[in-house]
Amino acid sequence: MIYLRTLLLLMLALPAWAADQNAEIDRFLGETLGKPPAAEMLWIVGDLQPAVRAILEHDYPSARVYYWRGGTRTAWVLDEIGKEMPITVGISINNGAVERVKVLVYRESRGWEVKSQAFTAQFSGAKLAEGQKLDRHIDGISGATLSVRALSRLTRLALLLDRQVNRGDKP
């Protein structure tokens, strides 16, 4: 009986979590692009699929990714598992360099420090270097290693995807 009550409470909470996530995404897009244009879609197929797999060390959980474009700027909302739960991150890219990284929804019980602006500011100006690595070192956070890795992978992924949509480069 306790199990059923707990399950019912979790099911009732899901719409609230989704609403919070949507509000955070809308806020990020508004801060990044002003009034955001309609979302565009990029299919992760062909040569792009193994490149994405190489960055994430697994397939992206969806066959397509939505993004928003305003001039030379693109905004991406991507998810990656930290230790056990997905982390939803907003990443804006301008002229092939990271403009901003913002953790929109953090679901892990530990490692929340990656949400701090002091940490995410390290990504500002980063570009994709040879081997699909970032062109700079990102300092870790003790106790948040897996979350730091997740944000680094997502930032690399956003740079790769931005390159794909803006220049049509092959990965």
Angle made by CA atoms 71, 72, 77, in degrees to the nearest 5: 95
Question: Are the C-beta atoms of residues 120 and 137 closer than 8 Å to each other?
Answer: no
pLDDT at 1: 55
Task: Give the pair of three-digit tokens for residue 32.
Answer: 């990044």
Q: pLDDT tens digits, residue range 4-19?
A: 455 444 454 444 445 5
8-state DSSP, 113: G
pLDDT at 171: 59
Q: Quote the pTM value.
A: 0.85
